[in-house]
């Protein structure tokens, strides 16, 4: 075998070994748990951001930005999950700012971390008619050993729609008016509506 062939074989084997060694990290993904893709103007919608596929990995820190159309949705609030530690027990730090969510665990043992858990729950309010894409950008996940874990970031959409207007049949409105106004003016009206 010539020198070029040996180099190609070494490179291909190296790439294959790298793929086999790091392939498990590709299974890590984020997803939105969105109860409905429709929301009325003025109403809120809450969803969970879930990480899954952590079988042999542990996450000690995350940072990402929620992307959405601010003319259609307003970011209201967030609540971080407990997968990286309890914030009230000072097991984790929350350094989030607006729609940029950042949490760092202070725990040293991640052996009890589940393979799937909620990173955060977020709430939006519909403020304008239309369709807003919802995504994640600037995603960084650190494992317990400080390594960066590969992920697949989610994408979703929310439609902000008008609330349905109550429907009144003209016959029902007419009969209601007749029953109240007719009594006030001592009119007797019969109708076969």
Of the pLDDT bands very low, low, confident and very high (cuts 50, 70, 90), residue 24 is: very low
The contacts of residue 114 (CB under 8 Å, 6+ apart) are 54, 83
pLDDT digits (tens, 9 = 90+) for 47-91: 999 998 888 888 999 999 999 999 999 999 999 999 999 999 999
Looking at the domain 25-164, which fold is it?
Immunoglobulin-like (2.60.40)
Task: Select the more confidently predicted residue: 10 or 74.
Answer: 74
Phi-psi category of residue 186: left, alpha or beta, with phi > 0 → left and psi -120 to 50 → alpha: left
Query: How would residue 175 be classed by pLDDT, with cut points 50, 70 and 90?
Result: low
102-161, pLDDT tens digit by residue? 999 999 888 889 999 999 999 999 999 999 999 998 888 888 777 666 667 777 888 888
What's the half-sphere exposure (Cβ side, CA atoms, 13 Å) at 76?
15
Task: Give the tokens for residue 105.
Answer: 């665990």
pTM beyond 0.75, yes or no: no
């Amino acid at each position: 075998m010539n020198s070029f062939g040996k180099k190609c074989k070494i490179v291909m084997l190296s790439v294959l070994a790298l793929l086999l060694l790091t392939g498990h990290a590709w299974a890590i993904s984020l997803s939105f748990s969105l109860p409905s893709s429709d929301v009325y103007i003025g109403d809120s919608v809450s969803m969970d951001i879930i990480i899954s596929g952590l079988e042999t990995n542990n996450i000690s820190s995350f940072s990402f930005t929620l992307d959405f159309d601010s003319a259609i949705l307003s970011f209201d609030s967030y609540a971080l999950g407990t997968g990286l530690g309890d914030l009230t027990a000072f097991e984790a730090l929350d350094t989030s700012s607006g729609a940029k969510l950042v949490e760092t665990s202070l725990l040293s043992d991640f052996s009890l971390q589940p393979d799937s858990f909620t990173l955060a729950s977020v709430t939006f309010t519909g403020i304008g008619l239309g369709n807003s894409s919802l995504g994640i950008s600037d995603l960084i996940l650190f494992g317990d050993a400080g390594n960066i874990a590969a992920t697949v970031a989610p994408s979703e959409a929310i439609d902000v729609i008008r609330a349905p207007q109550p429907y009144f049949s003209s016959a029902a409105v007419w009969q209601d008016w007749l029953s109240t106004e007719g009594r006030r003016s001592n009119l007797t009206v019969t109708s076969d509506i």
